[in-house]
């Protein structure tokens, strides 16, 4: 049986930002999320799902593509 690695929202956002050649801190700010939240997450605090969706939406410029964070979005119903 193989083990599946579960990536945090922040790691997923960092990978998405890298693939878009975007600055992740700037994406937080453009999404309307304070840069203090960015620094808190950098220092080990949890990132809320809704906040991650906002940032992902900014990085992708499409809220539909923001579902990259989860194959199943229980809050979308």
Q: Are 54 and 28 in contact (CB under 8 A)?
A: no
Give the tens place of pLDDT for each residue, 32-74.
Answer: 999 999 999 999 999 999 999 999 999 998 444 445 555 555 5
The residues spanned by each domain of the chain are 9-68
**DSSP structural state of residue 34:** -
Give the tens place of pLDDT for each residue, 6-18.
Answer: 899 999 999 999 9
**DSSP structural state of residue 64:** T
**DSSP structural state of residue 75:** G
pTM for the model:
0.74
Which pLDDT score is estimated for 1? 59
């Amino acid at each position: 049986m193989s083990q599946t690695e579960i990536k945090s929202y922040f790691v997923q956002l960092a990978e998405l930002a890298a693939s878009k050649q975007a600055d992740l801190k700037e994406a937080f700010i453009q999404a309307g999320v304070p840069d203090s939240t960015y620094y808190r997450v950098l220092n080990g605090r949890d990132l809320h799902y809704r906040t991650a969706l906002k940032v992902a939406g900014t990085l992708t410029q499409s809220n539909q593509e923001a579902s990259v964070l989860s194959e199943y979005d229980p809050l979308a119903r």
